[in-house]
């Protein structure tokens, strides 16, 4: 018997998602169903799928010793972990990549998720307040910002490994900087816009050594001048783990700005504008009691709604 799934298509600067509401945790899609939804020729087409589920009802498929789904569900401890961190985080953003794999976090997805919750009447953001949402990387606070939203992406971490990054049509391997912003990233600087345009990201970049769980790969070129009126400017393209090249990647944008500030050294700004194929987003680094946080601001759009039959 098929599933009639009521969905909404949304995007943040071209990073697009299929969203659906499952407050009670009754619908857990299989990797095959997620791949079918995200297929751009035979499905709706998206970089990922977002399930809106109450944190207390978050669940996951039970698998057997061979890793095969048994058809039953069990509580997912990520939901309880989120509520322990922030009891007000009623809603959990259960995110899956286009290949059906589970994603820890999605920066652009947080803004689109917040817009979806507001549009569906499932949540409110009080004036000047924030909406805490659960993710597998912890709680993320989202606020309304201009014509879009701003997400506090939390603390970030500079990793010790610096893998070489090999990209098709880029003649020389480049050293990468490993940054974790809730999910893993490797950022590499290229020489100029021509080299960035020539990079073929339809092929997965090769990282040497290769991270055990893979990583998103960002290619960055600075503007000339790098800083204007106290704001840094860079241009970026990204290959997302599990999705391929996307028009925009929120966590990747944050990682790219952090990496460029690191390379620029002392005196580099804490405010950045990052141009990606899908648009421009802003990044801000700021101190908090538990260490430096970084925020991401940009638009979020809901495009259309519909119902699809899933096998």
Given 29, 179, 236, 249, the catalytic residue: 249
Is 195 strand, coil or helix? helix
Is 57 strand, coil or helix? helix
- Cα–Cα dist 248/238, whole Å: 7
Asked if 106 is an active-site residue, the reply is yes
Given 46, 52, 106, 179, the catalytic residue: 106
- Cα–Cα dist 91/118, whole Å: 12
Asked if 38 is an active-site residue, the reply is no
- Cα–Cα dist 307/6, whole Å: 4
**Dihedral (CA of 47, 106, 150, 236) sign:** negative
Beta bridge partners of 282: 273, 297
Is 214 strand, coil or helix? coil
Query: What residues contact residue 102 under an 8 Å CB cut-off, 6+ apart?
Result: 95, 96, 136
Q: If you ran DSSP here, which 8-state letter would residue 100 be given? A: S
- For residue 117, count CB atoms less than 10 angstroms from its CB and return exposed for 0-12, middle for 13-18, buried for 19 or more: buried
Which ranges in 12-157 belong to alpha helices (H)? Answer: 31-38, 77-85, 107-119
- Contact of 259 with 177, CB cutoff 8 Å: yes
Nearest CA to 78 out of 179, 195, 182 is that of 182
Q: According to the 3-state scheme, what is the secondary structure of 228-270?
A: ECCEEEEEEEEEECCCEEECCCHHHHHHHHHHHHHHHCCCCCC
Residues assigned a catalytic role = 106, 249
């Amino acid at each position: 018997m098929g599933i009639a799934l009521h969905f909404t298509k949304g995007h943040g600067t071209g990073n697009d998602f299929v969203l659906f509401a499952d407050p009670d945790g009754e619908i857990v899609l299989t990797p095959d169903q997620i791949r079918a939804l995200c297929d751009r020729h035979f499905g709706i087409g998206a970089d990922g799928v977002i399930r809106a589920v109450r944190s207390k009802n978050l669940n996951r498929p039970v698998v057997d010793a061979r890793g095969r789904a048994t058809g039953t569900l069990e509580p997912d401890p990520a939901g309880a972990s989120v509520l322990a961190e922030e009891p007000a985080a009623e809603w959990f953003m259960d995110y899956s990549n286009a290949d059906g794999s589970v994603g820890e976090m999605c920066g652009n997805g947080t803004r689109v998720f917040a817009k979806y919750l507001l549009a569906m009447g499932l949540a409110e953001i009080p004036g000047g307040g924030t909406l805490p949402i659960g993710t597998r990387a912890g709680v993320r606070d989202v606020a309304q910002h201009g014509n879009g939203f701003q997400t506090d992406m939390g603390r970030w971490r500079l990793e010790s490994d610096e893998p070489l990054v090999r990209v098709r049509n880029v003649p020389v391997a480049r050293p990468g900087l490993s940054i974790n912003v809730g999910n893993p990233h490797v950022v590499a600087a290229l020489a100029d816009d021509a080299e960035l345009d020539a990079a073929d990201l339809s092929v997965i970049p090769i990282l040497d050594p290769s991270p055990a769980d893979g990583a998103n790969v960002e290619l960055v070129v600075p503007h000339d001048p790098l800083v204007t009126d106290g704001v840094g400017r860079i241009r970026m393209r990204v290959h997302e783990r599990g999705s391929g090249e996307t028009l925009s990647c929120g966590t990747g944008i944050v990682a790219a700005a952090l990496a460029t500030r690191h390379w620029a050294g002392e005196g580099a700004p804490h405010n950045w504008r990052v141009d990606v194929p899908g648009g421009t987003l802003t990044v801000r680094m700021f101190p908090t009691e538990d260490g430096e946080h970084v925020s991401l601001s940009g638009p979020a759009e809901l495009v259309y709604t519909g119902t699809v039959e899933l096998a």
